[in-house]
Structure 1
């Protein structure tokens, strides 16, 4: 179909094949009621017209929504990785995803409202910023699963990583390499920032390094990491654990522009193991979240709630792991 052309409909296929719309619908649904010859003729016409069945419309017409609405942020590359896992998990459960993005000019409430209009069976929210009371009110309307954030309310299901443990793993790795002057660039008010900040403090205390605790204001974006790096330049530590991979790339850029060798002069650890962190020119040591497990559990929990199941374990916390690459090494 060329750009600007009308999308072929079920009626177009029926007219071209010389059969009723109802019969074309039977063929497309792979339901009984059409002869082998008719089925073959309809499918050939559908291919020739490039007809694509609208499965979402079919589900809505049937009164059975097998759509899971997902709210994500375009500012978080890790959300892109989570979406890949969620698509795979939903497909295995016989569900489809419909997405609604939070952007710099489109807030979270607007994104959620769009999905409610789509009559989704359940919502999966990636790192929502809404207050707990607001999420609980939403959960009164349909099942809600929150990912990557702790929410303490019995009506809201949660699937997240143990973020405190993640930063502890990062500090443990750096200490094993011989570092003592380890700083942390935090995530400001972003989801999971408090847990990661506390994990850093706990690990430094456990290793007897309280005097070296140094928390630099940061955020979730490259510009936040770059700004934090400039704050470190006057008295650089030998290692730094950053709130997430995207901020870590901004920090790496500034360090290298100021002729600081990574990891020779300073080691850097990110968080999330976002897909870009393994690129050769980044090669970032990072804390990985188990995307496949998280996605599978989130979709399963949503489907269980849709089916009316009583879920005993409202919150599931997944263990993170270290992925060691080229941005960490022993201090000089």
Structure 2
């Protein structure tokens, strides 16, 4: 706010803090930067003086002095609710390690490479790619120039120069199928996500689980994507057939919501007529009126590990590639139940 004479108050400087604490500017700088050296008494005095004056370090000045941007670039899909959960967790994880986050979106009209180019042009020191569809060769190319962490899928094997943080997708689909079989279901359909990140592993998990339960002959995959539209389209394919399956495992929560919407419009009751399972445990799945049984990915843990992996390369000089995997967890809610033989509502 302006002073009584109308002028804006001068922003307190590090010199002001040092004078208030009765120490040198150099010592005050060490304390503010959390560098080793100052005594506990000096730290207390400097931090108290900074708090009294309302002093805040100037991030842009720190960047200029260090010749580093301390920016982590993150690509995401705007309408992906799980990406939103990841981004929400990335911000505090980055701040805790002294990094800022710069976001850019991948859309149907904006390719991932275009989004990545925008981040590198903005002096991002490292990249965290959410649900990347880049080829292993492209990831190797990126990883040769700056630290890259791929969140949500593997890097394709070989000597990838990138880190990956992912849930074991195949195990997650397996647990979904195990849950449905345990309820008594046999005609279980998987709506997949084509070539999207993690889709191949989820298909494999579905097939392996159906085979494990002796249901090979009943296994069926309906093409889809990680979108509500794709889930609705897949449901309408099934609705046009003489009989519905008793259960559906969707590629992700968004796809499952599309299935639920199409069934609601057609008078098909969930879970009385058909059970539905999603994947992610996004905020969408937890809404009371959706109450979706789903495979949970730990967004907060994944985000923390991804930011930590990038920081290790940037701050500690680590060069070896790491593939960090997390176990999924099945969360049972209101969209699954034992199968009951009923005629479909018309």
| TM-score between the two structures when normalised by the length of structure 2 | 0.82
The residue number in structure 2 matching 1:258 is: 266
The residue number in structure 1 matching 2:33 is: none
The residue number in structure 1 matching 2:228 is: 222
* Matched residue SS, 2:75: strand
Shift of 1:154: 3.1
CA distance in 1 between partners of 2:110 and 2:145 (Å)? 22
Structural RMSD (CA)? 2.5
Contact 2:139-2:160 within 8 A present in 1 as well: no
Contact 1:145-1:158 within 8 A present in 2 as well: yes
Shift of 1:26: 2.8
Contact 1:284-1:327 within 8 A present in 2 as well: yes
Shift of 1:204: 0.1
Specify whether residues 148 and 211 from structure 1 end up closer, same or farther in structure 2 by C-alpha distance, changes over 3 A only.
same
How do 1:77-88 residues align onto structure 2 when only pairs under 5 Å count?
77-88=81-92
* 1:17 maps onto 2:9 in alignment: yes
Contact 1:89-1:295 within 8 A present in 2 as well: yes
Q: Which moved more, 1:158-167 or 1:115-124?
A: 115-124
Contact 2:187-2:245 within 8 A present in 1 as well: yes
Unaligned runs of 5+ in 2: 22-48, 341-346
The residue number in structure 1 matching 2:255 is: 247
Contact 1:182-1:214 within 8 A present in 2 as well: yes
CA distance in 1 between partners of 2:320 and 2:145 (Å)? 20
Moved over 6 A (4+): none
**Selected match of 2:63 from 60, 63, 66:** 60
Contact 2:187-2:218 within 8 A present in 1 as well: yes
* 1:72 maps onto 2:80 in alignment: no
Unaligned runs of 5+ in 1: 2-7, 9-14, 47-51
CA distance in 1 between partners of 2:216 and 2:194 (Å)? 21
* 1:186 maps onto 2:174 in alignment: no
The residue number in structure 1 matching 2:32 is: none
The residue number in structure 2 matching 1:11 is: none
Deviations 1:232-269 (A, max 9, x none): 11221000100010011111011121111100110000
Shift of 1:128: 1.1
| TM-score between the two structures when normalised by the length of structure 1 | 0.85
